[in-house]
Chains A and B, each alone.
Chain A
Amino acid sequence: MHDHRATVESVFRQESGRIIAGLIRVSRSFDLAEEAMQDAFAAAVINWQADGVPDNPAAWITATARRKLIDYARREQTRRNNENQVLYEYESRTCTIDEEMSRPFEDDRLSLIFTCCHPAINKQAQVALTLRTLGGLTTAEIARAFLLPESTLAQRLVRAQRKIQQARIPYQVPDAGALPERLSAVQAVLYLVFNEGYSATSGDNLVRRELCAEAIRLARTLLELMPQNPENMALLALMLLHDSRRDARSTADGQLLTLEEQDRSLWHQEQIVEGIAWVERALGRRNFGPYQMQAAIAAVHAEARTATETDWKQIAGLYVMLHRCQPSPVVSLNLAVAIAMSEGLERGLAMIDSLGAEGELDSYHLYHAARADLLRRMGRNREALESYQRGLALTTNAVELRYLRRRIAELAQAI
């Protein structure tokens, strides 16, 4: 009994993205595709019990769902008595489920992901739509992960689906001219999903971890679909390398631990090995981009057996390159820290201070925290304390608040 249900669930987990992508192509509707897929999975639970699991369960689900679509179209036609595309295309061709299953199983997931991450859709809806369709998460699961009421999320999804239909957002991979920009929008959505899970500011820890796992799964899918793209490789690598530290980055009571403080034996080596391999393959393409630089930096950290063995010189070089492809004051700040660690604290502090003088970073809490950290290392405890306090005043994130308070308490004792 239980086995069949488990089989159905595992088929859903593995194949629902591909199945729904194909059904959307046929029905030209996210709603109908989803309804048909759900009906088909429900039918599978009953049918496979009686007839056994078919050789290709995903093809069976697709074939059954396509027949459901035709049923809906017939129902709709008798009601409205007008032409329906699905019926038009499929009525004459569809006979038995075996014939249906013998059709080539095309992969429409790339069209699906580009449609879900179309810039004409609001960013949060892009994320929700991607997780819902390609990730196969339920509306309730997504709402829990993003700490939103389920009704809010459901409404966001409905609105996005309606816009796709009404504004006729195409279901296709963008043409070569638009591809680089649109691909980086897709990558940004996946990275956002990962960060939402990773930056774990509050909420259910387990749900957050699943979000990271889901982001990694989606990054794998994107790489599988566009295997030559070095930024896709790097995005997967970056996620794997960060995720490898998940058990080391906080204490049992939720205190954030810096890279330096983490017990590196808790880092997941299999993810590190895979992450580094992808970084190397990506860099071998000699077509650099921001994810490659970030992943390479994460790889350098991962390669150091202890914090003191960290190759800060290489990290500084990578930040210089990152700044070249994606200039930002935050990247400059990280470069200054890497310089401090490789060429001397004074030099790094001077860089940080000149960055601060430009004004942009003055309201950024991590600027003050980074400055405080250098002062602390230099033994200038009073100044460090002051900087930590300025950072604290600008922080709203609960985990970071606790981290800064801990630092302040430690320093106050030392003075």
Chain B
Amino acid sequence: MRYMMLIYSQENDAVTPDDMQAVAAAHGALMEEARRRGILCAADPLQASSTATVLRLQDGDALITDGPYAETKEQLAGYYILDCKDLDEALAWAAKIPTACAGIAGCIEVRPLREFPQRAPVNA
């Protein structure tokens, strides 16, 4: 079953290029490991939440506002989609995903993807 791992972390202006590079390297290694095991479906980092735009349909009209959707301390920063046998395996992978930004730990929300019967799951 595919699980989406949503990475939430605190956006911090104090991030140095060195920090960025270290985090990117850690993600790169993890993605490589998941790819080697044949379970990596997708993984991407997102641009900062200040780049987000929210669109809401109201009476058929698109109402566009400056984002993000929710003004929370921790913001969605990226995601992985991994094909795991069960939640415990997914949680074990999630535990390896770096969430810290400039030393402040974030968190990962793990959610199963809804599989539709007509669409065969990846690597089934």
Chain A contact residues, CB within 8 Å of chain B: 82, 118, 120, 166-170, 172, 174, 178
The answer for the CA separation of A174 and B86 in the assembled complex, in Å, is 12
The 7 A-B residue pairs whose C-beta atoms are closest, nearest first, are A170-B86, A168-B86, A169-B87, A167-B112, A167-B87, A170-B88, A168-B1
- B91: chain A residues at CB < 8 Å are 120
Least CB separation from A120: chain B residue: B87
Encode B1-23 as 1/0 by CB contact (under 8 A) with A: 10000000000000000000000
The answer for the CA separation of A179 and B55 in the assembled complex, in Å, is 46
- A168: chain B residues at CB < 8 Å are 1, 85-87, 112
Least CB separation from A80: chain B residue: B117
* Least CB distance, B1 to chain A, in whole angstroms: 5
Question: Chain B, interface size: which category?
Answer: 10 to 19
* Least CB distance, B112 to chain A, in whole angstroms: 5
- A174: chain B residues at CB < 8 Å are 88
Using a Cβ cutoff of 8 Å, how many contacts connect chains A and B? 24
Encode B84-101 as 1/0 by CB contact (under 8 A) with A: 011110010000000000
* Least CB distance, B61 to chain A, in whole angstroms: 35
Least CB separation from A178: chain B residue: B88
Least CB separation from A177: chain B residue: B92
- A178: chain B residues at CB < 8 Å are 88
24 A-B contact pairs sorted by A residue (CB < 8 Å): A82-B117, A118-B87, A120-B87, A120-B91, A166-B112, A167-B87, A167-B110, A167-B111, A167-B112, A168-B1, A168-B85, A168-B86, A168-B87, A168-B112, A169-B86, A169-B87, A169-B88, A170-B85, A170-B86, A170-B87, A170-B88, A172-B88, A174-B88, A178-B88
The answer for the CA separation of A120 and B112 in the assembled complex, in Å, is 13
The answer for the CA separation of A82 and B118 in the assembled complex, in Å, is 12
The answer for the CA separation of A166 and B1 in the assembled complex, in Å, is 10
The answer for the CA separation of A174 and B89 in the assembled complex, in Å, is 11
* Least CB distance, B39 to chain A, in whole angstroms: 14
